[in-house]
Amino acid sequence: MCYNAFIMDTRNQNLNHPLTVGQFQEHVETLTKVVATKFDVQESEDRVKQYMDQKMTEKFDKVMNSVDKMAKDVSAIRQEQSMKLGRDDRQDEGIKNVKTRVTVVEQRVGIKPIGT
């Protein structure tokens, strides 16, 4: 007997007449098939928790992989900036040396310095 039939059967029954043992057993069987028990609910809850944990782990892994990639990119950019800064410092020192040498040559030759 399905749940709807169970409901219809109880509605059509005269409430002044008690159920027979067979009717009672039939109603109990129907209820155990239709109504979730505490164990059923706990089992469903555990499956949902496990599923959500799995999905969250997958999402977290994707996020962390993206963060790792970005961290590597940032590290590479910082390293490149450090190398450029070192190169710029060496170029500045070279330019300063050339300016000093040009100034010395201009003074020896007697030419007015072009600029400072």
pLDDT of residue 72: 96
Q: CA-based angle 15:18:22, to the nearest 5? A: 120
Burial letters 89-110, b for 16+ CB under 10 A, else e: eeeeeeeeeeeeeeeeeeeeee
Please tell me the distance from the alpha carbon of residue 13 to that of residue 11, in angstroms, as a whole number: 5
Average pLDDT, the chain: 85
pLDDT in tens, 21-38: 888 888 888 888 888 888
Please tell me the distance from the alpha carbon of residue 89 to that of residue 70, in angstroms, as a whole number: 28
- Does the reported pTM lie above 0.85? no
